[in-house]
């Protein structure tokens, strides 16, 4: 774990885009001394630091356009975990599809993050959560040609619906990710 501590001090997450023609964006994860409570409420002091990231571009149905609803996120970490907070705005929150289902059954409104901890632009650890709090996880390899949805890492997520849309929080232990000990501290990161 001491290798992780050293690596995390300068950890930067590189936000990649689905489309090759779009410019890449840089997002910095920040260290927290007090871990956020994973409850979907986003009211912890950990989430008051740094600005919310966003400015996404559509991949489907209209490649390259601004999304019809805004989404924002923050990424922070401590010695053991990576934390992600997501705000999925919805101008009609009563239309949010909020279905309870089994793990890895992507049903209803969902948000996903993909972490390319090798920064090889070919491999990704996918973590998703629905507005009902159902988790989805998978590994993508070989540029997405190989997908393993049977991978079930140990991690937490919660979601909550608000009058502005819905929020999700994730707690991903570093023990569930693979990365090189001599990493240059830049990881690929995609949020959807």
**Which range has highest mean pLDDT (125-134, 156-165, 169-178)?**
156-165
Question: What tokens were used for 79?
Answer: 């010695």
Backbone φ and ψ for 162, nearest 5 degrees, come out as -125, 175
pTM above 0.95, yes or no: no
* Average of per-residue pLDDT values in the chain: 78
Q: Comparing 27 with 17, which gets the higher pLDDT?
A: 27
Residue 2 pLDDT:
28
Please give the average per-residue pLDDT across 130-136, as a whole number: 94
So what's the pLDDT on residue 29? 84
Q: Between residues 23 and 169, which one has the greater pLDDT?
A: 169
Confidence tier at 26 by pLDDT (50, 70, 90): confident
Each residue of 30-62: pLDDT tens digit?
Answer: 899 999 999 999 999 999 998 898 888 877 788
Q: Which strands, in side-by-side order, build the sheet including 156-162? A: 30-31, 71-77, 81-89, 165-173, 156-162
């Amino acid at each position: 774990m001491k290798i992780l501590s050293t690596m995390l001090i300068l950890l930067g997450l590189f936000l990649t885009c689905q489309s090759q023609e779009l410019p890449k964006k840089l997002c910095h994860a920040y260290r927290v001394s007090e871990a956020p409570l994973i409850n979907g409420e986003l009211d912890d002091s950990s989430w008051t630091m740094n600005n919310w990231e966003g400015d996404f571009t559509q991949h489907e149905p209209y490649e390259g356009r601004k999304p019809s609803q805004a989404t924002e996120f923050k990424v922070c970490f401590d010695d053991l975990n990576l934390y992600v907070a997501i705000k999925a705005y919805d101008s009609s929150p009563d239309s949010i599809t909020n279905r309870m289902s089994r793990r890895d059954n992507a049903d209803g409104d969902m948000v996903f993050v993909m972490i390319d901890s090798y920064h090889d632009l070919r491999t990704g650890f996918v973590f998703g959560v629905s507005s009902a709090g159902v988790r989805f996880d998978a590994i993508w390899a070989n540029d997405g040609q190989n997908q393993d949805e049977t991978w079930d890492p140990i991690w937490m997520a919660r979601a909550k619906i608000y009058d502005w849309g819905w929020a999700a929080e994730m707690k991903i232990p570093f023990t569930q990710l693979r990365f090189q000990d001599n990493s240059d501290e830049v990881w690929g990161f995609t949020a959807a």
